[in-house]
A = this chain, B = another copy of it.
Amino acid sequence: MELHMDMMDSPCGLDVSLKVIGGKWKPLILYHLQGGPARFSQVKQRVVGISEKVLIQQLRELVAMNVLIRRDHQRVPPMVDYALTPFGETLVETLRPLCEWGTQNRARVAATLASASSQP
């Protein structure tokens, strides 16, 4: 009962956040759109390693969650850009600490992973 109250006092919304930006690519996509709107091809360049198919998919999902807005400039060849919504901006803010942590601990994590993979 006491534990139950504790859970009520500090509900964790991580499950919600993860539903919106969970997965390998979404956080990175959002990070790269911080700098302002970008065309599909630009996003693809910035998010190194992502396949076109997966990028399209992830962008579509982020648009569906109102985190991103897609603007079609009605041109040929197509010209489409993606930008953070105000809602999306509140979300990408929360990624900053995580990004910094990763940057600061990149070497340490890499070393740990390397030693872990050399042990069977």
A positions within 8 Å CB-CB of B = 3, 6-7, 11-20, 22, 24, 27-28, 31-32, 35, 45-46, 64-66, 87, 90-91, 93-106, 108-110, 112-113, 116
Q: Chain A binding site: helix, strand, loop or mixed by DSSP?
A: helix
Contact A102 B28 (CB under 8 A): no
Closest to A19 in B: B109
- In the complex the two chains form, is A17's CB within 8 Å of B93's CB? no
User: Which chain B residues border A105 with CB–CB below 8 Å?
Assistant: 13, 16, 87, 90
A12/B28 in contact, CB under 8 A: yes
Contact indicator A102/B16 (Cβ below 8 Å): yes
Find chain B residues with CB under 8 A from A15 CB. 28, 102
